[in-house]
Amino acid sequence: MKFLLLFFIYISIVFSGYAQEAAVKSYTTQRIEGEPPKIDGKADDNAWDQVSWGGGDFTQRTPDDGAAPTVQTQFKILYDAKNLYVLFKNLDPDPAKIVSRMSRRDGFEGDFVEINIDSYYDKRTAFSFTASVSGVKGDEYVSNNGNNWDSNWDPIWYLKTSINDEGWIAEMRIPLSQLRFADKPEHVWGLQVTRRFFRNNERSNWQYIPQDAAGWVHLFGELRGLTGIRPQKQLEIQPYVLAKTERFEKEEGNPYATGSSSDIDFGLDAKIGITSDITLDLTVNPDFGQVEADPSQVNLSAFRLFFPEQRPFFIEGSNILTFPVSNSGNNNLFYSRRIGRNPQQSIDTDDDDLDGDGEADDDDVDEFVKSSTNSRILGAAKITGKNKNGFSWGILESVTAVETAEIDSLGYTREETIEPLTNYFVARAQQDINKGNTLVGGMITATNRKIEDPKLNWLHKSAYTAGLDFTQYWLQRTYFITSKMIVSKVEGSEEAVTSTQKSPERFFQRSDNHHTKLDTTRNELTGTGGTLVFGKRSGKVIYDVGFNWLSPELELNDIGFLGQTDMMTQWLWVQYRKLKPFGAFRSLRVNLNQSSSWDFGGVNTEKDMNMETNFEFKNFWYGGAGFYVRSYAISNADLRGGPALTYPGRFEYWAWLGSDTRKKFSVEVNPWWGFGFEDNQNNRGLWVNFIYRPSNAWNISLNPSVSNNVDKMQYVTTVDNRGEDRYIIAQIDQTTYNMSFRMTYMITPNMSIQYWGQPFAASGSYSEFKKVTEPDAEKYSNRFVVAKSTYDSENDEYLIDENLNGETDYAIENPDFNFAQFRSNMVLRWEYIPGSTLFLVWTQNRSESPDNRSHTFAHLYGGLFDKKPHNIFLLKYTYRFIL
């Protein structure tokens, strides 16, 4: 491994040149005299004669970087006091072969042309507008010099397209209210135009930017001639009305499961341009009923699962309000799914005093609970801005309501608080210096809960985080160095802070944890983290080398995401790439990764190395392969508060191959395999993706997968045996079946029907139970003792004889599991006028936990569709007022 690292560093030095910047192009627009052009896709208005054609000299970017494109593109740009008008002439020698595929907004299917406008002229951000030949619109907010493209930004603009004998035409009208720019007499904006020629899977640009360039926006050409325009104050109000009805299985005796329910609700979204530099996004009583459900997963680890944000209000602009804590993983100071999260307090119905006699009532009494699945967001406001001096900032403020659960028992009802009134606050700022070559920024977050019920004292009363970041580029942004520093502080009762110390992220109570100690008298906890990275982003060889630390006391999960603390990691990532066609390839990339981790006690917990290649052939097929080697690993968390457990090393390898995605039918196949060095683990799996496009209006995809994992050191439980903890592990044979089906039918570019369905099944069968004895023993077989286990079918538990003396020492609940689920979502979406939408939604959910007599696929799914599903039907109507 050391030899490989030295070899790649040597190659990096040899190819240490950086991409040369092309001459900056310029296009001069003109203010319209007379009537503006009609946006009808015909391009026959006299107004277009007032300005000359730009383009005609595009340069290919992919696949043959720097070559002349197969087809050329021309454009014209006009403006008036309120709008920017853009005309594209996309030449094509064979118009009958133009690919006119349709998709949902931002689908980017088929031939398209795109304009990027850096109206801030800050060399880092841009507004992107894309026109597909079918008339489907795409729009993205570009930030971080092209490293982030936010497709959830949905401005109001107008588009028409047509096909003629020369190729195809696209006409746009972009209201200036949808752009952001300074108030001054004359403007120069950054400008880029991109054309995709779908038949050749080719992209060309007006302003040539090599594929290996370090950045995007700072290399744009210029749009000149803009005089006398003023920033437009944006004021858009979008109220909604929602009607919902639910149908589900009725439960006899349960007053909350009557089989049906109906409701009607109202809310409002708004986008207000306070000044030319500041925009306010506001939502009151937001609804996200049309959002797809999270994919099903089974989590056998000690750590939290991460699910991506899918709610529109929080997705748009998320590239501003973000502060990643490390280069890999999902750790972040802000994780928007904490807002409106599932209520955190569970209802214990076993110790309830219904009659007020001071004693718990009979546990056999049936009790029924009615509670919400999400904390209601009363309101949220997001303010973002950037001024002409390069200072950008964003603020998010949100309040979620007190959530209560109603419990019914024999007609007695009571309420329990399951989530307190909570305020969330996030602020992010960044200053561009020296034309964006130096960036200095920071972020702060605050979570404050109004805890009035003593049962919620285990929650933090308050939680604060702060971070500072710095980035410096040099040599045309080829090289960079970036650093981050974060600090967190949580406050609450002794119970709350003790719970934090014992949480899976840290497990201070571990018996072998000598560098941090559990203190049950604390009422606050303060931690730190940071990252330092040096890298290169241009040329044939690119790389970064870095170091990251997360102190044991760090806590982000009140409003951020944090998987595990007590970790220091060093890494090196190197990529060698050939981006121009050669031999049988259109492009080729080879990656090497090396990393090592330690805890704050100085224990080297992991050493990893992986190598991967990915490529595209000249026939438009693509693929890759790779392997991963871990010499060993030490987990401080897998025994759930017990001592650190040492695992043997492992080896994994994988490959994938995909066919030409331009065709009506395409397929991608991805198998993988892995095994442990001491035969402690074996896994394998297969992932396949089929895509079929029977016509330009249809897109059908089927994505099945199956995986099997046999692990001889899977944690089961911790048992108290005569005052001593026993950490029980076992061999698990786990199989997971998953399939995602998606169908989209485009009735018009603004009306679609989309269906998503996911059948999911997972099973786990445990055997060969073991007691952990010496978790850090050098020899694998000395880390545990295999116990004798006998299954007690009457009580569904295993009787464990750990001393092999014929006597039962303790019993453990049968850990075997079977789970099957089917989720689906069908949405009719009609944007009847720009910005105003009608949704019709049908959501269905079926879940089943079959008995553990069998773990076959047929058994898992046998009874799933016999049960009555939970169906939700809703109609959502929104109308956007532009004031």
Please report the pLDDT score of residue 153 as a whole number: 87
Give the containing element (helix H, strand E) for 10.
helix 2-14
Alpha helical stretches, state H, 269-386:
312-315
Mean pLDDT of 746-766: 95
Mean pLDDT of 820-840: 93
Please report the pLDDT score of residue 659 as a whole number: 98
Strand pairing of 278-284 and 368-370?
A: unpaired
Residue 466 has pLDDT above 90, yes or no: yes
Q: Which fold would CATH assign to domain 22-227? A: Immunoglobulin-like (2.60.40)
Which tops the pLDDT comparison, 866 or 92?
A: 92
Task: Write the pLDDT tens digit of every residue in 239-260.
Answer: 999 999 999 999 888 899 899 9
Cβ-count burial 409-445 (b if 16+ within 10 Å, e if not): beeeeeebbbbbbbebbbbbbbebeeebbebebbbbb
Please report the pLDDT score of residue 20 as a whole number: 54
Task: Write the pLDDT tens digit of every residue in 329-387.
Answer: 799 999 999 999 999 998 877 544 444 444 445 455 678 999 888 899 999 999 988 88
Please report the pLDDT score of residue 5 as a whole number: 45
Rounded CA separation 206/117 (Å): 13
Radius of gyration of the chain (CA): 30
Residue 399 has pLDDT above 90, yes or no: yes
Q: What is the chain's percent helix, strand, coil content, to nearest 5? A: 5, 50, 40
∠ CA 743-747-748, rounded to 5°: 125
Of 5-14, 58-67, 292-301, the range with the lowest mean pLDDT is: 5-14
Q: Any residues with CB less than 8 A from the CB of 167 and at least 6 apart, and which? A: 71, 89, 90, 91, 92, 95, 98
For 2, left (φ over 0), alpha (ψ -120 to 50), or beta?
alpha
Residue 590 has pLDDT above 70, yes or no: yes
Q: Which of 278, 384, 266, 233 is nearest to 883 (CA)?
A: 233
pTM for this one?
0.89
Q: What percent of the chain has pLDDT over 70?
A: 96
Q: Which of 622, 145, 630, 701 is nearest to 430 (CA)?
A: 145
Residue 497 has pLDDT above 90, yes or no: yes
Mean pLDDT of the chain: 91
Please report the pLDDT score of residue 111 as a whole number: 96
Which tops the pLDDT comparison, 9 or 391?
A: 391
Distance of CA 206 to the CA centre of its chain: 32
Please report the pLDDT score of residue 10 as a whole number: 46
Instruction: Report the 10 Å Cβ neighbour count for 94.
Output: 9
Task: Write the pLDDT tens digit of every residue in 499-553.
Answer: 999 999 999 999 999 999 999 999 999 999 999 999 999 999 999 999 999 999 9
Please report the pLDDT score of residue 365 as a whole number: 63
Rounded CA separation 45/37 (Å): 5
Q: Does residue 121 contact residue 713 with C-beta atoms inside 8 Å? A: no
Q: Any residues with CB less than 8 A from the CB of 37 and at least 6 apart, and which? A: 43, 45, 47, 48, 78, 85, 87, 171
∠ CA 301-302-308, rounded to 5°: 75
Is residue 320 very low, low, confident or very high in pLDDT (cuts 50, 70, 90)? confident
Task: Write the pLDDT tens digit of every residue in 798-811.
Answer: 999 988 888 999 99
Task: Write the pLDDT tens digit of every residue in 8-29.
Answer: 444 444 444 444 567 999 999 9
Residue 481 has pLDDT above 50, yes or no: yes
Residue 290 has pLDDT above 80, yes or no: no
* Block residue for tokens 């075997």: 816
Q: Does residue 155 contact residue 139 with C-beta atoms inside 8 Å? A: yes
Q: Where in the chain is the domain with CATH 2.60.40.1190?
A: 22-227
